Structure 1
Amino acid sequence: MKYGIVGLAIVLSGCAGTSPKISWVASVNVDEFTDKKTCSVSVGSLYTKSSVFTYSNHYYPYIEVVDNDLRVGIKSGGNYRIPVGNVQIRIDNNDAWTINTSETPLDYAPQASTVDFSQYVENLPEESRKQAQRTYDAAMEGSARAMSPFTAATGEKARAILDEMVNGKEIKYRTIGMNQAASTTGEYALDASLPEALSKCGIKA
């Protein structure tokens, strides 16, 4: 029995030694309706020689450019993606970055309700109707962003985070729950695979 256990350990050790290294990879996505292509750089949980897989209920840092708009943040993985919420990112010993759902581009968010709100305020004075509609639209946008499987910074903030990443050694991140126990954390090395993947996507490091 002891020999069997030792033999199994040797086999597993050999398999572990040949597993693909965790690294940053570039991936191209094509919208099946608009044929719009986007290229993003991220990491995964399971690597093979030709594919990278992510797990549901796990979160991953990523970089992406959409219509020349740089986005840096956290996304959820797997086939059934869950909302991310507010997140914090820290590179090495630099100050932590907080990215809120309110910053997330709306095109990442699930489509909001298609209910015709105007029917509920048609008897109000015109100015009251407009105010009610603005309030409703803002609430729907906020709800949609909160339910998004992405949370991302854009513009100068995204560029500043990326600059730290390409010059750093490690990225740590966490989702911010209602309490610390609800937070989900993770970390990845910022090695040579990052600038290589960025180059494949045409993202300037």
Structure 2
Amino acid sequence: MKIRISALALVALTMACPAVAKGRAPQAWQATHTTDPVTGATRCVVTALDYFGKSRYSRTGFLYPVIEEHPDHGLLVGVSSGGRFRLPTGTILWRVDDRPFRELRPEDGPVTVDTAVTAPAGTPQDPVAAKAMADAMALTNRMIMSATATSTFAQGDRAKEMLAELLAGQGLLFRAKAAAPETGLPGTGMYRVGQFTNEGLRPVPLDESLRTSLKECAIPTGD
């Protein structure tokens, strides 16, 4: 008789015993290679995903750290939502060890073409009116990015600073800013940080697997 395990049961098993056989936990970070079946474009990203035995996976409703040397946007460091159905990430609070936390906003990262709003036909010729319309379109784009983006990244010099912190650190904590209310009674979401282990939530380890995975994706580590 075949035994079927539901997705919920698999998650429960994962949270209860995420370590691999013989008590050895897998490496925290891993390089993931993908190839687009239509365009043929290849990507390599460094992530710290959930694991069950030797299998790696992500879950809908959970956030995962991602590092990538993007062909168009350069170095990206931040967070992406996981699972089959990607949810908006919003603003992220990010901290390495006891350093001051960083606030990452989705609208500060790369803007994708499919979410950008362009000015309608008949743009005013008057410079003041044209600037007002351009500012309105830019604000609309930022609002759309903030509400719908399924990843939140830093880029440029800020991404380089964050990567240097990761390489010099011991543990990473992050969460969605909206998970904790700014007023009123505290919510349980503020404590949902780090990585699930058999000992509960722990900071994501910044171990040697991070440096190894970065090299596999040809992302400079400063060595």
TM-score (norm 2): 0.72
Question: Could you tell me how far apart the structure 1 residues matched to 2:82 and 2:128 are?
Answer: 42
1:153 aligns with 2:154: yes
- Percent identical among aligned pairs is 24
Q: Does 2:63 match 1:59?
A: yes
Alignment partners' CA distance in 2, 1:88 and 1:23: 20
Q: Distance in 2 between matches of 1:102 and 1:167?
A: 27
Q: How does 1:77-116 map to 2 (within 5 A)?
A: 77-107=82-112, 111-112=115-116
Per-residue CA deviations over 1:103-130 (Å, capped at 9, x if unaligned) read 11113x753468x833xxx597755763
Contact 2:97-2:171 at 8 Å conserved across structures: yes
Letter in 2 for 1:130: A
Aligned CA RMSD, in angstroms, stands at 2.9
Distance 2:74 2:123 in 1: 42
Q: How does 1:48-197 map to 2 (within 5 A)?
A: 48-49=53-54, 51-67=55-71, 69-107=74-112, 111-112=115-116, 117-118=120-121, 122=122, 126-127=126-127, 130-131=130-131, 133-146=133-146, 147-177=148-178, 179=181, 181=187, 183=190, 184-186=192-194, 187-197=203-213
Provide, for residues 11-58 of structure 1, a one-character-per-residue CA deviation record: whole Å limited to 9, x for no partner: xx9995517525201112333443322211001122443x41000000
More off after superposition, 127-136 vs 75-84: 127-136
Write the distance in 2 (CA, Å) between the matches of 1:157 and 1:95: 14
Q: 1:14 to 1:117 in 2, by over 3 A?
A: closer
Deviation at 1:96, TM superposition (A): 1.2
1:164 to partner: Cα distance: 1.1
Answer yes or no: is 1:199 the counterpart of 2:219.
no
Indicate how the Cα distance of structure 1 residues 196 and 130 shifts in structure 2: closer, same or farther if over 3 A, else same.
same
Higher-Rg member (1/2): 1
The AA in structure 2 aligned to 1:98 is E
Deviation at 1:174, TM superposition (A): 1.5
Q: What do the CA deviations read for 1:48-80 (whole angstroms, capped 9, x no partner)?
A: 43x410000000111111127101001100010
**Aligned pair count?**
187
Unaligned runs of 5+ in 1: 1-12
- The gaps in structure 2 that reach 5 residues or longer are 1-15, 195-202
Structure 2 residue 36 is the aligned partner of structure 1 residue 34: no
Return closer, same or farther for 1:110/1:185 CA change in 2, 3 Å cut-off: farther
CA contact (8 A) 1:22 1:47 kept: no
The runs of at least 4 aligned residues of structure 1 exceeding 3 Å deviation read: 13-17, 31-34, 122-129
